[in-house]
Amino acid sequence: MTLLENFTLVFVAGFITALATGIGALPFFVFDEISDRRNVVLWGLASGIMISASVFGLIEEGLAEGTPLEIVAGIAAGVLLVVLAHNVLLDVNIDPHEYEEADFKKLVLILGILTVHSFPEGVAIGVSFADLGFESGLQLLGFSVPLLAVFMTVAISIHNVPEGTAISIPLKSMGVPNWKLVWWAVFSSLPQPIGAVLAFGFVQVARELLPFGFGFAAGAMIYLVLTEFIPEALDIGATLPNGGKPELAGGIVVGVLIMVPLTFI
C-alpha cells in the first residue's frame, strides 16, 4: 500500500472515533433527558476504558518496543503538554451553550480549546498504527492493520459516546434540534483524526521515538481521566446518594472488564 493510502486509513480511523461522539446525542431522539445516575455511569465507563487502553494497550506495547525510562519520559511529556495547554487555553471557559451562538471566529477558538481534550486521543490512534502494513497485522480491507490499532480505535470510540452525551445535554436545554446535537458532538472530536495523522507521520519518520510516543499518548489520556472525566462524573453525581461514587466505581469496573479481553485477541 502507498504512504497516501496508509495516511488515509489512519485518518478514517480517527474520523470514526469522532463520529462515535455523535452516538452520544442519539438518545435525545427518544428521551428528553438522561438521568444523572446514568450519566455518571457513562463517565465511569469512559474512564475505565481509557485507563485500560492506556495501560494494557499503549504502555504495554511501549515496553515491548523500548525501555521503561523511555515510557516514563513519554508519560511525563504527555502530562506536561496537557497541563501547559490547559494553562494557556482553558482560562477561557467554553460551554456547549456557546456552540450554537458562536460566529466563525468563536468556533475556531472553541475548536482550538477542544483540541486540548481530543488531540491526545488522536495521538493514541496514530501511534497505534505504527506497524501498519507489517505482515503480522489483521487483514482488513486490503491493509495489514495492527491489532493495537483496532483495540485503540474501538476503545476511543466507546469512550467518546458519553462525551457526546455531555455536550448534548446543555444544547438540548436550549431547544437545539436533535440532528444538530449530533453535529456538535462530532464537531467536538474533529481534532482526533488530525492528531492521528500527525502522530502516525511522526512515528514513521522517527521510528526510534515510538516508545516515547506510546508513553506520551498514555500519559495524556490518563491525566485527562484523572483531572476531567472523574471530576466531571463526581460533579454530576453530587446530588445522588453517596455522591454518585458507587455508580462511578461501577462504570469504571465495567469499562476495564470490557477492554481487558481485547488485549488478548
Distance CA 46, CA 166 (A): 12
Model confidence pLDDT, tens digit, residues 217-241: 899 889 988 988 898 889 989 989 9
Mean pLDDT score, 245-256: 92
Record the pTM.
Answer: 0.81
Q: Give the residue numbers spanning the domain of 186.
A: 3-264
What type of residue is 86? H
Which region among 26-30, 141-145, 209-213 has the lowest average model confidence (pLDDT)? Answer: 141-145
pLDDT at 253 over 90: yes
pLDDT score of 90: 53
Predicted confidence band of residue 264 (pLDDT cuts 50, 70, 90):
low
Model confidence pLDDT, tens digit, residues 121-173: 888 899 988 877 665 566 766 677 888 888 889 889 988 888 888 788 877 87
The H-assigned helical ranges of the chain are 3-23, 36-52, 60-65, 68-89, 97-101, 104-128, 147-173, 178-187, 191-205, 210-224, 230-236, 245-259
Q: How many domains does the chain have?
A: 1
